[in-house]
Amino acid sequence: MLKDKKKKIAILISGNGSNMAAIADSVEFGILRDYYKIVLVISNNSDAPGLEIAKLRKLPVLCIDSKQYAKSDFENALLRSLESYDLNYIILAGYNRILSSAIVSRYEKRIINIHPADTKLYKGLHGYEWAFKEKRDETTITVHWVDEGCDTGEIIAQKNISLKGLKTLEEIKKVCLAVEHEFYSQVLRDLAII
């Protein structure tokens, strides 16, 4: 695919940014190389470790610290920043806020999130903590379109992971995050080629 035909994506993060880094790997060397270009990484948290990772990788980075703004000012600044790029998709990767209805409607069916549980069973933050406390035998990673709710958007793809034999929360996170990293890129690749 020609370079200028690649789909332009912005990745939104709030924390560790391991999914962002995995997508960046796939875009740079892996299965997303022919399909996507990361034009922006935005963090709403100035302390997010993912910000440093993105800078080290020389990705274009912007921090709009949501703690420093009133909610509507933050959302307006975020929308203005996104609109200054001709984005095909917005990829949420550990982004911990609900997007405003202005952003969701402006980018309808173009915002994607990964969630560490089946969104029909568990919504919101701390999905692995939930699976651990509930002593679940398996969990289901979900990639879904983003709407105005919290993890309520239409499901794009899911992947089951057995949690049998994983004794601690740390083990669960380690195993499942590795699956998320591979799965998110696979789903994005599938979206690009359909």
Query: Which pair of structure tokens corresponds to residue 138?
Result: 């398996």
Q: Which is nearer to ligand GRF, 21 or 82 (CB)?
A: 21
Q: Rounded CA gap, 14 and 138, in Å?
A: 26
Active site residue 115: yes
Q: Which is nearer to ligand GRF, 50 or 103 (CB)?
A: 50
Told to check if 111 binds ligand GRF by CB under 6 A, we report no
Told to check if 15 binds ligand GRF by CB under 6 A, we report yes
Q: Rounded CA gap, 181 and 18, in Å?
A: 8
Q: Which of 40, 42, 114, 143 binds ligand GRF (CB under 6 A)?
A: 114
**Number of shown-chain residues binding ligand GRF (CB under 6 A):** 14
Told to check if 153 binds ligand GRF by CB under 6 A, we report no
Q: Give every CB contact of residue 47 below 8 A, 6+ residues apart in sequence.
A: none
Contact between 166 and 172 under an 8 Å Cβ cutoff? The reply is yes
Told to check if 144 binds ligand GRF by CB under 6 A, we report no
Q: Give every CB contact of residue 63 below 8 A, 6+ residues apart in sequence.
A: 42, 43, 44, 45, 46, 48, 51
| Binding piece for ligand GRF, criterion CB under 6 A, among 11-19, 30-38, 73-81, 97-105 | 11-19
Query: Which pair of structure tokens corresponds to residue 12?
Result: 């939104």
Q: Which residues bind ligand GRF (CB under 6 A)?
A: 13, 15-19, 50, 93-94, 114-116, 177, 180
